[in-house]
Chains A and B, each alone.
Chain A
Amino acid sequence: EVQWVESGGGLVQPGGSLTVSCTASGFTFSNSWMTWVRQAPGKGPEFVANIKQDGSGKNYVDSVKGRFTVSRDNAKNSLYLQMHSLRVEDTAVYYCARDHVLGFQDFWGQGTLVTVSS
């Protein structure tokens, strides 16, 4: 059974920084692309970033380029999202998810809430 432990969410002021993380179990973490998806209140999900199995390839949505960094530690089965220069519009629940080889996300975590507010 695939399981996740997500952490790091919270309240941060505009311009601040925060790192969210998730630790997975129940599958071979090092064999999978991994993804961060966020969902702002009242909106549909938005793909944020993903990272290749060995960390050598990364993709970001335009709105977070230069501010967010995705990384992973395969020895710890863990995925990270470092967020800097946070904006009010970054307020969302952030989900980690496993990428299926075809491109969709087949298993998702329960999410961690990031609130950017003064």
Chain B
Amino acid sequence: EIVMTQSPGTLSVSPGERATLSCRASQSVDNDLAWYQHKPGQAPRLLIYGASTRATGIPARFSGSGSGTEFSLTINSLQSEDFAVYYCQQYNNWRTFGQGTKVEIK
């Protein structure tokens, strides 16, 4: 099983600042990497797939990068609605998720 490790566990950021989240795979997943946003009581929302392609309707302040085993999600100019938990998922070999990064208001 491919293990996905996200860091940090919690990120404290002020509105308007940039947040950078990391995700590492235990073996190469090429660019078969997705990012999801999850708010309490809501359905998870697809943000990024193919490591760097924004899903339909996702604002340009969200960007993804990386390939192989190292990936990152950057959120520029954080808005109030961006405070949530973010998960990475590999879909190269079965499907496994990271444990999440909580982005909270500083």
Contact = CB atoms under 8 A, between A and B. Distances in A.
Interface of A: 4, 43-47, 95, 97, 100, 102-111
Contacts, number: 53
B19 to A, nearest CB: 19
Interface of B: 4, 32, 34, 41-46, 49-50, 55, 87, 89, 91-92, 94-100
Given A44-B100, A45-B97, A104 B43 contact: no
A108 B44 contact: yes
Contact of B99 (A43, A105, A111): A43
Contacts of A104: 34, 46, 49, 89, 91, 95
Contacts of A106: 46, 49, 55
Specify the main secondary structure of chain B where it touches its partner. loop
Nearest to B42: A110
Nearest to A35: B95
B46 A105 contact: yes
B91 to A, nearest CB: 4
A102 B95 CA distance: 12
B44 A95 contact: yes
Contact of A103 (B43, B44, B91, B98): B91
Contacts of A103: 32, 91-92, 95
Given A105-B46, A111-B43, 20 more contacts: A44-B98, A44-B100, A45-B44, A45-B89, A46-B97, A95-B43, A95-B44, A97-B44, A102-B49, A102-B50, A102-B91, A103-B32, A103-B91, A104-B49, A105-B44, A105-B89, A107-B43, A107-B46, A108-B46, A110-B43
Contacts of B99: 43-44
A59 B23 CA distance: 26
B62 to A, nearest CB: 15
A44 B87 contact: yes
A47 B96 contact: yes
A47 B43 contact: no
